[in-house]
Structure 1
Amino acid sequence: MVDTEVYYNQLQKKYSRRITLGLSRIKKALSLLNNPDLKLIRPCNILGSDGKFSCLTSLKYFIEANGQSTSTFISPHLYDLRSRIWLKNRFISLNEIKKYEKKISKLKVKLSLFELLTLIYVLAAAKAKCSYNILESGLLFKKDSSNIFKKPILQACTNINKQHLEWISPKTINEICKQKVGYLSNQTNIYIGKQNPKTLRIIKGILKKNKSTITYPSIWRIIYKDKNIYYKDNRHKISIRSNYIHSKGLIDNVGLAIKIALDQKIDPKLIERTIPKIKFEGRLQYLEKGKLKKLVNKNEKILCDGAHSNTSAQNLYNYLKTLNMPIYCVWGMQKNKLPNEFLKNFKGIFKKIITIRIPNEKNACSSIELKNIALRQNYNVDIAKNLKDSLNKLHSKEKKIIVFMGSLYWIGYVLKNN
């Protein structure tokens, strides 16, 4: 993985990591490459503010359990560049990434890093010839480099909320919805995931003239009965049993994937048998083994969650408040993710917060900045020099949960060091 890290750092210097919205560059590159995107069978777009990864991952599990193959493209990666691209039964190799990058660089088209990685995925997926090709969108969707298909088999939109406001004008939920669902294909099957009622009304208004077949979240529901959870629609009732899927938000994303899988004629019994196998790395994930686990007492649990928005914070809060033991936190976050508003969601949850700067992230808040935010909200707070120091400050024989949260980049760093 060291070689992969070195190479990724080289790519970040060669291609701008700065997000550059627009489709002209990637369309020009695709044209010069003889349009490999047209070779992708059953392309699928997954977009939204929160939940894209869990919806995509669930759908991938269901399709592969059905004996069909998938390629997937996610963003960002947590700790290994190769994990962005899945090809049938494996992740892309570093040699393949290098080979496709060399081919793309010869086009002399100025690309952002995200556009480059999208193109590498398209080239690799075209060669792999999978049954389904599933792409997670990056920022918004209107000018995202994953928005390259005229007739995708489906486009699914998970929860939309107020994120990435710095990229839009006016800075409203209406504009966010417009940029995400206002540019969906008119020749596809659109699936809308669970939404805030106001947001859903906005989405319906925007899609009023869209000619695609649209499935709204009222068609299916999640039922919580005693300690059991079920997906239910007019024809099916599927038990959702899992030791790995903990929050309502994640369950809703699984529900959306179930509805899509059913419409793709995947057997409901097969879906039910597959659900317990699904895991979401970095999303409410307990560390069961590894280097960090060895640094704490057997009574101490480590929970990693990449929550960085108000909506994902509320999902994490709702899960944490069900736990009957002391909870501590190690918090790292980026400046543009509204850390003050984010932390307000956890009132009464944490006995102590350790703040830390996310290593190698230019936009990361300093540990002092986060400490001051936590102090203003009356938290017991301390700062840590590094990851190991944060655990040293919380480690004891007390039975507890230590939550790492605030950023997927932070969680990626944690998992890499585990």
Structure 2
Amino acid sequence: MKTRKILKRLLQLHHKGEPSTLIRIKRLLKDLNSPENKISNLIQVVGTNSKHSLIASAREIFETAGYTCNVNISPSLRSFNERYYFSGKYISDEKLSDLLIEVEQVNNNKSISFHEIITVAWILHASRKKADISIVEAGALFRLDSSNVFQKNICSVVMPIGIDHLEFLKEGTIDEIVYEKCSHLLNGSKIFVSEQKNDVLEKIKKNIANNSSKKFILGEDYKYKKNNNGFIYEDKLGKINLPLPNLLGDFQLGTVSTAIAVARNLNQFKITDSHIKEAITKIRSEGRLQNITQGKLRKYVSESNQIIVDGAHNPLGFSVIKKYLETLDKERKIFLVLAMMSSKQHKACIQILKEKVHSITTLDIPNQTNFIKKEELSKIAQSCGVPSKTGDSIEDALKNIASENENAIILCIGSLYFAGEILNLN
């Protein structure tokens, strides 16, 4: 309860009309004696999609090999504490409260944003609670993101890039997005680039051409290939025959392969093939094509109904989901339960899946304010030619779909916040 009150107060913070800048957060870090400079073996992760899955995969590999990890993600899924992971544990409410209050007091009512102050809190605690590796996920973009305050790292990882967060952009083009995410990656370490669309990959290469870091490009410097027994990972160090990870969607193999490339090619650590094989089977990525096989929500559907939860919220993410849906049993109808934030590309996302789904039930996102109203979202779906109606709640939507089709695949999608609410309900 104390943490909630503090976060509610901090959410009121803003930078009083000032332009986007790193000046505020750098000033606060300096007032705290520059804790960012005390963090070693830093891995920075940028991109539009799959950052969380990459971090979960890399962390599992490193921890299986006996290394400790500090991790900062954004946004969180089920609990705010998920953003603060230190050496195998999420931070406690008590410790998080004390940490946020400490940073707030040092800031002393000076201009700062919510995202800046919570990032500083993680950096401060990470500087005190040392780990072998620190992994930081960039926010909406990177160039002016509060995660871009470090002077050195051991690598940057570029995950799939696509159109998103248009509210932060001037032009809203893929060129601008690639520039924001890749033009200011740190020099002199290593850069790993995961699966990208061909045109996007060329833009990334152009943006990092003058970066002195050694580059590792998926498809060029490391590869993977699925087979009957799992998949084969290959780089200059050799091949590894691996079991399939416990993750839905073949696209996850690209994410996992990038995590393997990072772990194998960082000379600071000794990662064996055995470590990787063991870790692969333990990787979990909540809210990413997560199959709900047990829990409270199962009572609203039949035994043969399948519930899948995914936080996809942009056209690139929906395109990945479309590819996954194409692998499913064509005899089973797919019903969409959709809820989205107001700033997203609603029509573009629905257009991608309209040929794959039988109908769409739209919902508001509980415990959020900046969501698109379910009535408006339903109208957009109908304008795309998809039968659509509004629902009263997640439970109501599941119950109604199950009563209509007891063999249906129910895909709940549209927002990480929505995915988190569903998982908390379950």
| Most deviating of 214-223 and 240-249 | 240-249
2:374 aligned partner, one-letter code: S
Q: Which structure 2 residues correspond to residues 95-244 of structure 1 after superposition, within 5 A? A: 95-107=94-106, 108=108, 109-217=110-218, 218-226=220-228, 228-242=230-244, 244=246
Deviation at 1:347, TM superposition (A): 3.0
Q: Which structure 2 residues correspond to residues 50-65 of structure 1 after superposition, within 5 A? A: 50-65=49-64
Contact 2:13 2:112 (C-alpha < 8 Å) held by counterparts: no
Structure 2: how far apart are the matches of 1:229 and 1:20?
A: 47
Aligned match of 1:351 = 358
Structure 1: how far apart are the matches of 2:293 and 2:167?
A: 38
Match of 1:305 among 300, 310, 313: 310
Deviation at 1:166, TM superposition (A): 2.7
Structure 1: how far apart are the matches of 2:17 and 2:226?
A: 43
Structure 1: how far apart are the matches of 2:148 and 2:250?
A: 29
Residues 1:279 and 2:252 are matched in the alignment: no
Residues 1:403 and 2:411 are matched in the alignment: yes
Aligned match of 2:347 = 340
1:211 aligned partner, one-letter code: S
Residues 1:413 and 2:421 are matched in the alignment: yes
Structure 1: how far apart are the matches of 2:296 and 2:3?
A: 21
Deviation at 1:243, TM superposition (A): 5.8
2:391 aligned partner, one-letter code: A
- Report the aligned-residue RMSD: 2.0
Structure 2: how far apart are the matches of 1:336 and 1:143?
A: 20
Contact 1:355 1:381 (C-alpha < 8 Å) held by counterparts: yes
Contact 1:249 1:312 (C-alpha < 8 Å) held by counterparts: no
Deviation at 1:83, TM superposition (A): 0.8
Contact 2:64 2:278 (C-alpha < 8 Å) held by counterparts: no
Q: How many residues align?
A: 417
| Most deviating of 11-20 and 194-203 | 11-20
1:398 aligned partner, one-letter code: E
| Most deviating of 56-65 and 347-356 | 347-356
TM-score by length of 2: 0.93
Structure 2: how far apart are the matches of 1:94 and 1:4?
A: 6
Local SS of the residue matching 2:70: strand
Structure 2: how far apart are the matches of 1:119 and 1:101?
A: 9
Deviation at 1:67, TM superposition (A): 0.4
Structure 1: how far apart are the matches of 2:83 and 2:344?
A: 23
Local SS of the residue matching 1:365: coil
Change (3 A) 1:6 1:17: farther
Local SS of the residue matching 2:256: helix
Structure 1: how far apart are the matches of 2:19 and 2:6?
A: 22
Aligned match of 2:297 = 292
Deviation at 1:15, TM superposition (A): 6.1
Alignment deviations for residues 385-414 of structure 1 (CA, whole Å, 9 cap, x no partner): 222221222123722221100111111111
Local SS of the residue matching 2:232: strand
Structure 2: how far apart are the matches of 1:162 and 1:67?
A: 37
Contact 1:19 1:112 (C-alpha < 8 Å) held by counterparts: no
1:254 aligned partner, one-letter code: V
Deviation at 1:360, TM superposition (A): 3.1
Deviation at 1:6, TM superposition (A): 5.0
Change (3 A) 1:17 1:90: farther
Contact 2:54 2:259 (C-alpha < 8 Å) held by counterparts: yes
Local SS of the residue matching 1:231: strand
Aligned match of 2:327 = 322
Local SS of the residue matching 2:122: helix
Aligned match of 1:248 = 250
Structure 2: how far apart are the matches of 1:60 and 1:16?
A: 34
Aligned match of 2:401 = 394
In structure 2, runs of 5+ residues without a counterpart are none
Contact 1:327 1:403 (C-alpha < 8 Å) held by counterparts: yes
Contact 1:228 1:240 (C-alpha < 8 Å) held by counterparts: yes
- Indicate the percent of aligned positions where both proteins have the same amino acid: 29
TM-score by length of 1: 0.94
Contact 2:43 2:135 (C-alpha < 8 Å) held by counterparts: yes
Structure 1: how far apart are the matches of 2:74 and 2:210?
A: 30
Change (3 A) 1:415 1:180: same
Residues 1:363 and 2:364 are matched in the alignment: no
2:231 aligned partner, one-letter code: I
Change (3 A) 1:270 1:243: closer
Alignment deviations for residues 170-203 of structure 1 (CA, whole Å, 9 cap, x no partner): 3221111111110011122111111111111111
